[in-house]
Structure 1
Amino acid sequence: MLRPGDSFADYVVERILGRGGNAMVYLAHRQSEPGVALKILTDDHRDPAAIERLHREFEIARGLQHPHIAAMFDHGPTWLAMQYVDGGSVAALASLADKLSALAQVAEALDYVHHNGVVHCDVKPTNILVAKSFLDVGAVLIDFGVAHVMGEQSPPVAARPSHVQASLPYAAPELLTGSTPSPATDEYELACTAVELIAGAPPFTAATPMGLFDRHLHHPPPRLSYRIDWVPRAFDSILAKAMAKRPESRYQTCTEFVRLITRALT
C-alpha cells in the first residue's frame, strides 16, 4: 500500500481514494498536471488474468469519448490513470432531481457505449461517480473491467455465483445464466441502480448469493409504490418492463427508460 508522498510511475500519491476487489485507487498527480485516479493492482492480484482485465479496461474505455464516461490517460502493466471525480458515489446526491439528472446522464453514456459496440455489464451506484460541482460536471460512469465487446464470443460462465463477473444485487438474468450480454443488460442494471437511489436499497436482497440468483431469475421487480407514498403506480409498470426477465422485452434504450421514470416521478 502506498502512502501520501510516495512515488509510483512518475506520479506522486496524495491519498487513498478506495479499494476495489483487486486494486487500490489513489489520488495522485504528475508534476504540475491535475490530479488523477491511479488504479493499481494489489500484489496478490497480479496474475495474468487480472493484468489482462486491467489492460482490457483501459483499451475499451480509452476508445470511448463521452462527457459522462471517465477519461483514460495512461497505463502500465499493473496500473492505469484515469479521470478523478471528486464527489464520491452517485448515492451521495441528496435531491431526487439530482439523482434523476445523474441517471439521465449515465443513460446517455450507456446508449453511446452501446452504439460503439460495448456493453458495460457492471452498472451500479459505486460505478457512477459525481462531481462536487454537480451542475458543472454531473455524473461519470467508471470501470469497464468486465465489459463485453459485441461480436466477441462470451466466455462460459460457471454455475457458481463466485464465478459470475457481475455485481449480484444488480446483475441481469442473462449474466447469471451465461447468455451473451446486450444493451438490455445495462438497462436492467441501470433500473436496479435507480431503485437503490430512490428506495435506499437494490430491488432484490437475500442472505446468500444463490438467493439473489433466484430472485433475479424468478421474482418480479418490487412495486415501490406500495412502499413509498410519493412513488406513483406508473413507476412500477415502467420498472417492470426495464427489469423484464427476457432482454428483448425491455425498452429499446436506457434513455427511454430514464425519461419515463423521470416523467412519472416529477
Structure 2
Amino acid sequence: MLTADEDFEGYVIDATLGRGGYATVYRAHRAGDPDHPVALKILDEDQRHEDQTARLRREFEFAHEIHHPHVITVYEHGPGWLTMELIDGGTSSALPGVTEKLTVLAQVADALDHIHHQGIVHCDVKPSNILATKDFSRAVLTDFGVAYTVAETVDWRYAQLEASLHYTAPELLHGRPPSALTDQYALAVTAVELLLGAPPFTAENPMELVDAHLNQPVPDYSDKIDWVPRIFDSVLGRALAKIPESRYDTCAELIAQLTHALD
C-alpha cells in the first residue's frame, strides 16, 4: 500500500479511499496540481498477473468510449493502474433515504440504457459499483472490468461468468450470454437491496443461491413491510422474471415503475 505524499507514475498520493478484492483506490493529484484530485486505482502487488491487468485495461477502455453524465469518467491508465474522476460521497449503500435512492437508481438506469444502445452490457451492476456525490445529486456507474459487447457474447461460455452471484440473472446461470435484460435484473436486485436493506435472494452457500435465482419466487414484500404497497411486488416480479423476455423494455421503465409504486 502507498502512503500519503508518495509518488506513483507522476501522481502524488493524498489518502486511501478504499480497498477491494484485487485493487486499492487512492485520492491523488498530479504533481504540482493539488487543486484537481483524481481517484487512482492500482492493482495490488499480488494481483498484477495477466488476467487482472487485462481486466483493468478493459475497465478503462469501455469507460473511455462512453460519454454519459452517469458513467464514470476515466483519464489515464498504465500497466496495473488507471485514474478516474473523484466521486466524493462513497457507494450507493450510503444514500440516506428512499427519495435519494430512487433518484440515484433512475440516473443509473439512464446510464445503463445508454450503454445498451451502444451494444455494451455492464455485467456487474450492484450497489458497490454505483458511486454518489456527497450531496447525493449525482451518481455514476463504475467498474466495467467484466463488461461485454453484444458482438463478444456470440461465443459466450458459462465459464466466463464473473458477475457477483447475488445479482446474477437466471439465464446467465443457464449458460445464456449476458444482455441488457441481465443488467436490468441486476439493477432490480440492487434496487431491492438499497430500498429494503437486503437482496431478494440470500442463502448460506453458493449452490443454494443459484437455486434461489433459478427456482424461488420473488418475495412479496408488501406482506412483510407496512409501507411497501402491493404494486411494488408486481413491478419487482416483472423485473426479476425468470424468463428475461418477460421483463421491462428498458431499465428506465423499471425504475419509473418502482418510483410510481412508492409515491
Deviations 1:92-151 (A, max 9, x none): 11111111000000000000010111000111111111101223xx11111001101111
SS at match of 2:151: coil
Unaligned runs of 5+ in 2: none
- The residue that corresponds to 1:41 in the other structure is 43
TM-score (structure 2 length as normaliser): 0.96
Residues 118 and 260 (structure 1), Cα distance of their counterparts in 2 relative to 1, 3 Å cut: same
| Residue identity opposite 2:140 in structure 1 | V
Contact persistence 1:16–1:27 (CA under 8 A): yes
Deviations 1:151-178 (A, max 9, x none): 11354223xxxx7401111111122233
- The residue that corresponds to 2:186 in the other structure is 189
Verify: 1:150 aligned to 2:150, yes or no. Answer: yes
Structure 1 stretch displaced more, 214-223 or 71-80: 214-223
- The residue that corresponds to 1:254 in the other structure is 251
Contact persistence 2:156–2:176 (CA under 8 A): no
Cα deviation, residue 202, structure 1: 0.7
Structure-1 separation of matches of 2:50 and 2:120: 23
- The residue that corresponds to 1:55 in the other structure is 57
SS at match of 1:264: helix
Verify: 1:9 aligned to 2:9, yes or no. Answer: yes
Residues 124 and 229 (structure 1), Cα distance of their counterparts in 2 relative to 1, 3 Å cut: same
Count, aligned residues: 260
| Residue identity opposite 2:131 in structure 1 | L
Deviations 1:79-100 (A, max 9, x none): 0101111001112111111110
Structure-2 separation of matches of 1:157 and 1:25: 30
SS at match of 1:134: coil
Structure-1 separation of matches of 2:42 and 2:156: 25
Structure 1 stretch displaced more, 199-208 or 32-41: 32-41
- The residue that corresponds to 2:227 in the other structure is 230
- The residue that corresponds to 1:212 in the other structure is 209
Structure-2 separation of matches of 1:16 and 1:74: 19
Structure-1 separation of matches of 2:66 and 2:134: 23
Partner of residue 81 from structure 2, selected from 79, 82, 90: 79
TM-score (structure 1 length as normaliser): 0.95
Q: CA RMSD in A?
A: 1.2
Verify: 1:24 aligned to 2:21, yes or no. Answer: no
Unaligned runs of 5+ in 1: none
Structure-2 separation of matches of 1:211 and 1:150: 30
Structure-2 separation of matches of 1:52 and 1:238: 38
Residues 154 and 12 (structure 1), Cα distance of their counterparts in 2 relative to 1, 3 Å cut: farther
Residues 65 and 231 (structure 1), Cα distance of their counterparts in 2 relative to 1, 3 Å cut: same
For 1:52-131, what aligned pairs fall within 5 Å after superposition?
Answer: 52-131=54-133
Contact persistence 1:251–1:257 (CA under 8 A): yes
